[in-house]
């Protein structure tokens, strides 16, 4: 199999690493606008050679792992260049606008929209890790619009990487992911901002910060180049989730202001139900 990966950072690079391990006969071509990223990917060894979109006619499979706003522009060009039997997948965190961008393309049946729910706060080729996707959920959107033989090819890859599959329409995907992923990142960024603004002496932050702060603010280290476009594409859903979150923060604040500590305890006790939900996810 000839695999072309566009964007050789955390997600694209991790796909390369796992596919090299599970499908050793695969030849992996890397495409990236950053030449240093290609050099690093070659040195690390998860791509076999650098390439360009002009060579996509050679591809059996193409994985697009770049900022989602760039994907909207590039995806039709990718489909224009591939052979009729090639499979193209994008791994972006939003799906509605990406699917709409190629809805009437002649090679729409060559495209599969996926979103692996996996990652870290780091970016670039050096951030790629082995077995990143093992046991993780992979959301597939509009599967019925992809040619069945290409669905089978994709499933072989997902099975080899140990992914769990869930099917969802793009509108529902973007709405739900705004709450469970995008809002989490915004909360982390804003917590980091609040602490930085309040604690002018950075040594105080490091001396007093415990594991709770570190784990909550971890996502604030994520790449703005990736997350800015995600918030842009999913703007309406993100605003809705933010409004509800702000209302809950305001309610919590009012309980404190009114010395309603019994209500505060009840609020936290009710929210503890999240443990049961998360235990189900982790099982």
d(CA 55, CA 182): 34
Cβ(129)–Cβ(17) below 8 Å = yes
Residues 14 and 46: their CA atoms lie apart, in Å, by 8
Complete domains list, the chain, with CATH: 2-169 (3.40.50.720), 173-282 (1.10.3660.10)
Q: How confident is the model at residue 261 (pLDDT cuts 50, 70, 90)?
A: very high
Residue corresponding to tokens 């049946």: 109
Lowest mean pLDDT among 60-64, 89-93, 121-125, 271-275: 271-275
For the chain, give the number of residues.
283
Question: Cβ neighbours of residue 204 under 8 Å, at least 6 residues apart?
Answer: none
Tokens of 176: 């739900």
pLDDT at 217: 86
Res. 31: pLDDT tops 60: yes
Taking residues 139-168, what's their average pLDDT? 98
Has residue 273 got a pLDDT over 60? Answer: yes
What was the pLDDT predicted at 283?
A: 47
Say how far apart CA 151 and CA 111 lie, in whole Å. 9
What pLDDT does residue 133 have? 97
pLDDT classification of 211: cutoffs 50, 70, 90: confident
Global pTM reads 0.89
Structure-model confidence comparison of residues 119 and 247, the more confident one: 247
Q: Considering only CA atoms, which of 19, 106, 93 is closest in space to residue 61?
A: 19
Quick count: other Cβ atoms within 10 Å of Cβ 12?
26
Q: How far apart are CA 112 and CA 109, in angstroms?
A: 8
What was the pLDDT predicted at 280? Answer: 61
């Amino acid at each position: 199999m000839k695999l072309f990966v566009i964007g050789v950072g955390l997600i694209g690079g991790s796909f390369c690493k796992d596919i090299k391990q599970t499908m050793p006969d695969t030849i992996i071509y890397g495409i990236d606008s950053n030449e240093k990223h290609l050099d690093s990917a070659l040195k690390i060894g998860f791509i076999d050679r650098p390439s360009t979109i002009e060579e996509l006619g050679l591809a059996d499979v193409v994985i697009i792992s770049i900022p989602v706003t760039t994907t909207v522009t590039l995806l039709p060009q990718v489909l224009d260049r591939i052979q009729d039997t090639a499979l193209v997948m994008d791994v972006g965190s939003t799906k509605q606008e990406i699917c709409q961008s190629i809805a009437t393309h002649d090679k729409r049946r060559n495209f599969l929209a996926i979103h692996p729910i996996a990652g870290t706060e780091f970016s670039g080729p050096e951030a790629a890790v082995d077995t990143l996707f093992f046991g993780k959920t992979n959301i597939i959107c509009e599967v019925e619009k992809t040619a069945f033989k290409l669905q089978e090819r994709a499933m072989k890859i997902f099975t080899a990487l140990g992914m769990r599959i869930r099917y969802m329409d793009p509108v529902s995907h973007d709405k739900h992911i705004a709450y469970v992923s995008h809002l989490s990142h915004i909360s982390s960024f804003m917590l980091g901002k609040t602490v930085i603004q309040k604690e002018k002496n950075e040594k105080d932050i490091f001396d007093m910060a415990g594991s709770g702060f570190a784990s909550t603010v971890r996502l604030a280290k994520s790449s703005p180049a990736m997350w800015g476009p995600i918030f842009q594409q999913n703007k309406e859903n993100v605003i809705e989730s933010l409004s509800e979150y702000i209302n809950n923060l305001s309610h919590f604040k009012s309980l404190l202001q009114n010395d309603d500590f019994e209500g505060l305890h009840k609020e936290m006790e009710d929210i503890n139900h999240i443990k049961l939900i998360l235990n189900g996810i982790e099982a």
